[in-house]
Amino acid sequence: MENRIRDILSKVGRLPVPVGGIGIDDDLYDAGLSSLASVNVMLAIEQAFDIEFPDQLLTRRSFQTIRSLTGVVDALKSSAVSS
C-alpha cells in the first residue's frame, strides 16, 4: 500500500522533491504538499483503493505523512469490509 500511495503522490502530489526521498513519517506539507494538491491526492487515493474519505478525515493530519495516509486507507478499507 505504501508504494501505491507513493506512486499517487509522485503523480498528483506536485511535490518539488522526489517522493522516493521522503520518509514514511516525514511531513508532506514540509516537503511541499499544498492544500490543492492534497485534494488531488485524496481523489486519486479514493479511486485507487475504491474508498471514500468521510468529512471527519479531511484534515491536515490525515495527509500529514505517508504513514498517516496508509493508516487512513487501512481504516477505511477495514470499515468497508466490516459493514
User: Residue 80: its pLDDT value, please?
Assistant: 72
Query: Which position has the grid cell 493508516?
Result: 71
Domain count, the chain: 1
Q: Is the pLDDT of residue 79 over 90?
A: no
Q: What percent of the chain has pLDDT over 70?
A: 96
Q: Range of 61's domain?
A: 1-81
pLDDT digits (tens, 9 = 90+) for 33-70: 999 999 999 999 999 999 999 999 999 999 999 999 99
68: three-class secondary structure by DSSP: helix
Residue 42 · residue 53 · CB < 8 Å: yes
> What is the pTM (predicted TM-score) of this model?
0.91
Q: Identify the CATH number of the domain in which residue 31 sits.
A: 1.10.1200.10
What is d(CA 69, CA 73) in angstroms, rounded to the nearest whole number? Answer: 6
